[in-house]
């Protein structure tokens, strides 16, 4: 139901919009009981869901979707979908919720831009990647069904959701891929997971139209890491001469990945990812040629960066310190309490990295103290973020005010 008497929002609707604009989620929730329908628009034609998306308020968006918010309700002249607003907010979680709810990522706004293009425009790379890497859960159902000679499906139907989460992950760090496989309960089906990713890669390349080379390569890459994980498990079993019931090999694998040489380079990652690129079964395509050229260049960047950029696109200026030192996750919450120079998602990531970080921690501490002294002495700290981002936000804020 749409309230089309535009300038006549009732008090509850007004107040709801106000609380959302202040990100007052608690106050917002208190009012919901008095609301007749969540599907109304403000005087500019923007829905409540669009407002919550623009504020990057994942909790409110989830509640609204649960209450039956219409993802297509939009009387906003500029044709922004809630996903456009979420993309501008920079909140990956909100983008995910809307995509899971079935929003069309290809909708364009009045200036012919998709949500992903708007996110790219304001530098919200994680949103760009989330939208571009997205495939629906229902498109993966095929792999949970029995086909042809199979006696059982590759992926048990009960694991469809975790499998979907695994496949749509944008963080391609080998540590994140292996930890995700563990957290999502996929370790018990590693060989099938690998097989399925190979099938998905093949299927993507053999489409009659809309071939997505990037997704094909991504599946190949994810499958490659899973294969390495399987190899690690097999070696671990031989060494420990027992049927390993615990998942200790994950830790062995993570440490193999994170082990730096004297120059601080990740030898194992470099070796295996170059091999991964070489073994991509489809040579006659742009992404393969692009990767081969870059890896073959003199002073080539690390293979992890080359492959990540090939799949997800260039991020432009990348501040490595804003990533987890263990798994490459963006904007992690925690810092090493001693040097405060490296960041981690959580205690587990910190624990896994300590065997390497303990060597550099004292040096980083000394450097940060020297840096602090220099800043105090009057050096300017560079501010980040392009100016047009703010301008655009203000512009949109005016539109939606």
Residues of this chain that bind Zn ion (CB under 5 A)? 324, 326-327, 329, 336, 338-339, 345, 349, 361
> C-beta of 364: minimal distance to Zn ion in Å?
6
Nearest to 357 by CA among 382, 333, 336, 378: 336
Nearest to 4 by CA among 37, 35, 45: 45
> C-beta of 74: minimal distance to Zn ion in Å?
37
> C-beta of 369: minimal distance to Zn ion in Å?
12
> C-beta of 343: minimal distance to Zn ion in Å?
8
Element (H, E) at 260: none
Whichever of 206 and 369 has its CB closer to Zn ion, that residue is: 369
Contact (CB, 8 A) for 185 and 162 = yes
Q: By three-state DSSP, how is residue 49 classified? A: helix
> C-beta of 44: minimal distance to Zn ion in Å?
40
Whichever of 189 and 345 has its CB closer to Zn ion, that residue is: 345
Whichever of 13 and 329 has its CB closer to Zn ion, that residue is: 329
Q: By three-state DSSP, how is residue 352 classified? A: helix
Alpha helices in 153-189 (DSSP H): 160-168, 174-183
> C-beta of 71: minimal distance to Zn ion in Å?
32
Whichever of 295 and 327 has its CB closer to Zn ion, that residue is: 327
Following DSSP, what letter does each residue of 265-303 receive, concatenated? -BHHHHHHHHHHHHT-S--SSHHHHHHHHHHHSTTPPPH
Q: How is the chain split among helix, strand and coil, in percent rounded to 5?
A: 60, 5, 40
Whichever of 126 and 327 has its CB closer to Zn ion, that residue is: 327
HSE value, Cβ hemisphere, 13 Å, CA-based, for 242: 7
Whose tokens are 């390497």? That residue is 356
Whichever of 311 and 324 has its CB closer to Zn ion, that residue is: 324
């Amino acid at each position: 139901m749409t309230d089309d008497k535009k300038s006549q929002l009732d008090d509850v609707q007004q107040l709801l919009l106000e609380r959302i604009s202040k990100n007052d989620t608690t106050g917002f929730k208190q009012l919901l009981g008095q609301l007749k329908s969540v599907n109304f628009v403000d005087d500019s034609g923007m829905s409540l869901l669009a407002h919550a998306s623009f504020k990057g308020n994942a909790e409110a968006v989830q509640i609204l979707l649960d209450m039956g918010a219409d993802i297509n309700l939009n009387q906003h002249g500029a044709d922004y979908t809630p996903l456009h607003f979420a993309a501008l907010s920079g909140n990956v979680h909100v983008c995910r919720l809307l995509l899971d709810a079935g929003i069309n990522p290809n909708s364009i706004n009045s200036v012919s831009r998709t949500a992903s293009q708007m996110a790219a425009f304001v530098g919200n790379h994680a949103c760009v990647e989330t939208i571009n890497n997205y495939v629906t859960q229902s498109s993966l159902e095929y792999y949970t069904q029995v086909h042809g000679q199979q006696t059982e499906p590759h992926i048990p139907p009960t694991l469809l959701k975790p499998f979907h989460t695994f496949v749509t992950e944008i963080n391609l760090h080998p540590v994140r891929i292996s930890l995700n496989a563990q957290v999502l309960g996929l370790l018990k089906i590693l060989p099938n997971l690998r097989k399925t990713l190979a099938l998905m890669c093949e299927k993507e390349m053999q489409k009659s139209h809309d071939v997505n080379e990037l997704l094909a390569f991504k599946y190949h890459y994810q499958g490659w890491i899973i294969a390495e994980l399987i190899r690690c498990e097999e070696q671990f079993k031989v060494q420990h001469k027992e049927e390993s019931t615990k998942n200790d090999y994950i830790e062995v694998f993570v440490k193999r990945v994170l082990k730096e040489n004297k120059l601080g380079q990740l030898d194992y990652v470099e070796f295996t990812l170059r091999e991964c690129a070489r073994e991509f079964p489809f040579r006659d395509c742009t992404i393969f040629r692009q990767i081969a050229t870059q890896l073959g260049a003199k002073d080539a960047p690390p293979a992890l960066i080359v492959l990540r950029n090939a799949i997800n696109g260039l991020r432009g200026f990348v501040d490595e310190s804003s990533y987890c030192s263990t798994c490459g996750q963006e904007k992690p919450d925690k810092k090493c309490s001693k040097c405060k120079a490296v960041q981690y998602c959580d205690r587990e990531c910190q624990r896994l990295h300590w065997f390497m970080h303990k060597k550099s921690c004292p040096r980083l501490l000394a450097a940060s103290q020297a840096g602090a002294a220099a800043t105090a002495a009057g050096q300017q700290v560079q501010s980040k973020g392009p100016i047009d981002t703010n301008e655009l936000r203000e512009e949109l804020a005016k539109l939606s005010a």
